[in-house]
Structure 1
Amino acid sequence: MAADEPWLPCLHVKTRRGYELGHAIGKWFRGLIHSRFASDPALHSELLPFAATEDGEKLVAALTSANREQFPVYFEELRGTADGAEVPFIQVFLINMRKEIAPFLATPIKREKVGEADQCSTILLNTESLAVIAHNEDADVSLLNHAYLVHAEFEDGLSFVAYTYAGELPSCAFGFNSHGVVFTLNAVPLAPEEAVAGGICRNFISRDLLEASNHRDALKRVCLSNRSVGHNYNIMDTNEGKMMTVEAASKGRWSVKEIGAEPFFHANMHRCADRYSKLSRDDMLSLLGDTTDEPYPVYMQGPKLVTLCTAVFDLYVLSCTIFQGNPEKQVVYSTLPLTLPWS
């Protein structure tokens, strides 16, 4: 990243859904997408070679058919991103489907290299005095400086803001829309035998979540019986004051918990742990910045996984605050209003 480039660049675009939105994103962030794809640890060594095998071709065809049929507009958005960035569509497709492909690779080493859990952590609290979702966005170290914000506005009045990994659909991380729906995402990987070949991809589901009209609609969009692999969705409805966490797995399995006055911590496993009797906003940031457990720190600093940023969504202030570096130090990069569209 050049010294004069922003740490987290943002594209604000008024456009139509589908190919036009994707093309605008791909063209604007062409350099970041090329850089990310060149440095990705698995794209060229594992994903592309697998896609060229007989088994890989069958899986790619099944994923293509299922996701294009269920989400044709978002599939065209991917095509637009590839064309705008001037990269082969197969590379964009594989990057977006990596977690759905990983369970079907030949060896555990290959599966771990492609689909290792991005160990995001989220704290949720919903009381009369403090209602916050605080989230660490963790990922492979290759994604450092390979993310951006997409602020899209559509002709029907919907708009959203989404933290987006270069070359992927908005958003596999966190976002919010003009209907007052806020979400953060955590990995909850399944055992390989639990994955459904040719199911619906996480990235398409979370892209669809950006269209949700309220928390009830959001639940319908994430609780799909035909998904390929599992994921966790932490959802806030700013209009109705609701907050919940959803763990969704393949084969029509999901669990929904409404968040109240008891602080709730979600890590990257199919379990919810480490409840605390009372937390302030500062306590949350301190917890998300904790590095005391060296093998499994909450705030990650490499060598494999890193915390890219921390985002705090405040229901009462109606803001999204993005912190750069360890959140315990409270270095604010940007504070975004949750009320859209922005004037």
Structure 2
Amino acid sequence: MGGAVDDGGGGELDVFDAGRCGGGGYELGVAVGRRFGEAIRSRMSGDAVLRRRLLPFASTAPGRALVDALRDANRARYPRYWDEMVGTADGSGVPLLHELLPFITEEEDQHHHREDEAAAVAADADDDCSDVLIVGESAAIAAHNEDANVALLGHTYVVKATSPDGSSSFTAYTYAGELPTCAFGFNSNGVAFTLDSVPPASGEVVAGAIARNFVSRDLLEATSLEDAMNRVSSPAMSVGHSYNLMDVRRRRIVNVETASGNRFSVREAAAAPFFHANMYRHLQVNQEKALSLLGDTADDKYPIYMTGPTLYTLCTVLVDLDEATMTIYKGNPKNRDAVRDSRKAHDWGNNGSSSKKVINWEICATKTAYAKSKTM
């Protein structure tokens, strides 16, 4: 079963429940690749950064060496997720190299001179996500804008899957052709997260080390907040990343910023909310104001809610820890006339106990992109 809503980009946000897939990850990858093969092929063929920079670089001697090192390091540390990526490539008919190369954009940057500002903006499209984190007496929420390059507009979907042993499950907003997820997701253990890129300083990148997307895929398996923190802070990361980790059952939100060289810092959200857009600023906001902030377009040059021509806000996600909901907003979230396509569409992970607090999820579309439902 699945559903879809208009994603505001001329396509639909499809939801695919892969169920319980056996094997070492390959079966799940094949299922996702087959289900979203058209979207994956379309994304890869229209991705200017992949076509103009990454593929040409991969054909050079330094590029081949970097790709080989990246492959060996990540396959050794995360063999199941590597098999999952191979399965996605096989299922979609896309070359494995095309799926792997988006993982090394930051590493490649150390080897390749950018020819113009537009190329730099396109390459760093995933650096522009914004977050508002609040944990107080009246609210415990995380609101997040998922910003990306134009190539991803209409090329995202939601993957739901259950572990081979049936003990846990996850829901993840996923970029076409990539592992779940470099964006946001949650699992049946009450762990949820959103992600933000942290651009590395010169000399900070460790070539051929652990790629961010493998670490965030591993987050979907976290059994607790502490386990999630350990998963993001222990690997020998190639580049840094910012993780907003949530414990729905214990009403906690923790931001963990990592860097290469096994460095990390931790900050727990409290009654004084903070805003993340590659920096932190204290704010006094509630849920309504958080969505309004993430929908702001007042600054023509640097809007928080982006509508092109190069960078787009693909969606806004709101995680409400008290209500145990994750809501995806398609269209500007500050509009008060949001139309809900799915109300608490699925409970993840009672695991036989009604006392456990589980996360529900919703998809909303504003009047600028009315939702249309269908059954698959």
TM-score, structure 1 normalization: 0.93
> How do 1:278-289 residues align onto structure 2 when only pairs under 5 Å count?
279-289=285-295
The answer for the alignment partner of 2:280 in structure 1 is: 272
**How many Å separate the matches in 1 of 2:235 and 2:350?**
36
The answer for the alignment partner of 1:114 in structure 2 is: 123
The one-letter amino acid of 1:143's match is L
SS at match of 1:220: helix
1:79 aligns with 2:66: no
Asked if structure 1 preserves the Cα contact closer than 8 Å seen for 2:168 and 2:187, the reply is yes
1:313 aligns with 2:322: no
Structure 2 residue runs without a partner (length 5+)? 352-376
When residues 7 and 205 of structure 1 are mapped into structure 2, their CA distance, relative to the original with a 3 A threshold, is: same
Two-structure CA RMSD over aligned residues (Å): 2.2
Aligned-pair identity (%): 46
The answer for the alignment partner of 2:230 in structure 1 is: 220
1:190 aligns with 2:237: no
* Number of matched pairs: 339
Deviation beyond 6 Å, 4+ runs, structure 1: 1-6
**How many Å separate the matches in 2 of 1:338 and 1:298?**
30
Structure 1 residue runs without a partner (length 5+)? none
The answer for the alignment partner of 1:103 in structure 2 is: 110
| Greater displacement, 244-253 / 205-214 | 244-253
**How many Å separate the matches in 1 of 2:272 and 2:6?**
43
The answer for the alignment partner of 2:262 in structure 1 is: 252
| Greater displacement, 106-115 / 34-43 | 106-115
How far does the alpha carbon of each residue in 1:12-53 deviate from its partner, in whole angstroms, 9 at most, with x for none?
A: 012135111111100100000011001101112111111110
SS at match of 1:97: helix
1:135 aligns with 2:144: yes
| Greater displacement, 104-113 / 170-179 | 104-113
**How many Å separate the matches in 1 of 2:350 and 2:32?**
19
**How many Å separate the matches in 2 of 1:169 and 1:336?**
25
When residues 115 and 296 of structure 1 are mapped into structure 2, their CA distance, relative to the original with a 3 A threshold, is: closer
**How many Å separate the matches in 1 of 2:258 and 2:244?**
11
The answer for the alignment partner of 2:348 in structure 1 is: 340
Asked if structure 1 preserves the Cα contact closer than 8 Å seen for 2:122 and 2:310, the reply is no
| Greater displacement, 176-185 / 149-158 | 149-158
**How many Å separate the matches in 2 of 1:306 and 1:9?**
19
> How do 1:128-207 residues align onto structure 2 when only pairs under 5 Å count?
128-156=137-165, 157-207=167-217
The answer for the alignment partner of 1:10 in structure 2 is: 15
When residues 61 and 158 of structure 1 are mapped into structure 2, their CA distance, relative to the original with a 3 A threshold, is: same
**How many Å separate the matches in 1 of 2:309 and 2:181?**
25
Q: 1:125 aligns with which of 107, 117, 134?
A: 134
How far does the alpha carbon of each residue in 1:276-330 deviate from its partner, in whole angstroms, 9 at most, with x for none?
A: 13x2211111001011122211111111111000110011111111111110014
The answer for the alignment partner of 1:44 in structure 2 is: 51
**How many Å separate the matches in 1 of 2:350 and 2:162?**
10
